[in-house]
Structure 1
């Protein structure tokens, strides 16, 4: 009986995770963040992302010998260092997606 309950619970969790992931991809990109979103991004998200970048760099350096032996040092660097760094430094303030914004509010009125 406990094995059956465990399987049901595992299946339920997996289905929920898949459902929430698809709902997150269905959202449109917010190109015009509000002042509250910009403030929260500057005060909360950016310092956390910077800390994630620093910790990821430390983990990458510690795991580098193993990554080199495994042949995935580039992939480890992308995930542990470059991904968080891009989110920290190359994302517009308050935006959800990484990368530079291709136009500003001045360009939208044209």
Structure 2
């Protein structure tokens, strides 16, 4: 197989796998609607969990590491601007919560503290 076919096959498979969380979210929302948002429980399917485990979690962990590096680089500027907390929360804490606290296949984090 030449390079073009290999690249095209990898891109096609990646694109197909990236649509799984969106499809799973739509199915979960249709099945778990009780009418009262307090009692709506996420029960993700197996393919949503596999897509989350194999694709989303590694990307979120990478985003957390890259965000931490960006936070360290921007720390002198954010300290001068007075927004160190906001920068840390948006660059490190939010991707970290989504990577390590959210259940497999779920779309919302179960951790409710700020």
TM-score in terms of structure 1 length: 0.64
In structure 1, the partner of 2:24 is: none
Alignment of 1:32-43 (within 5 A): 32-43=43-54
Structure 1 stretches of at least 4 aligned residues deviating more than 3 Å after TM superposition? 27-30
Aligned with residue 81 of structure 1, among 89, 92, 113: 92
Structure number with bigger Rg: 1
In structure 2, the partner of 1:92 is: 103
Tell me the secondary structure at the aligned position of residue 58 of structure 1.
helix
Query: Matches of 2:41 and 2:54 in 1, distance apart?
Result: 19
Tell me the secondary structure at the aligned position of residue 31 of structure 1.
coil
Return the offset for 1:98: 1.2
Return the offset for 1:99: 2.1
- RMSD, matched Cα: 1.5
In structure 1, the partner of 2:64 is: 53
Alignment of 1:4-83 (within 5 A): 31-83=42-94
- Partners of 1:30 and 1:95 within 8 A in 2: no
TM-score in terms of structure 2 length: 0.61
- Partners of 1:53 and 1:80 within 8 A in 2: yes
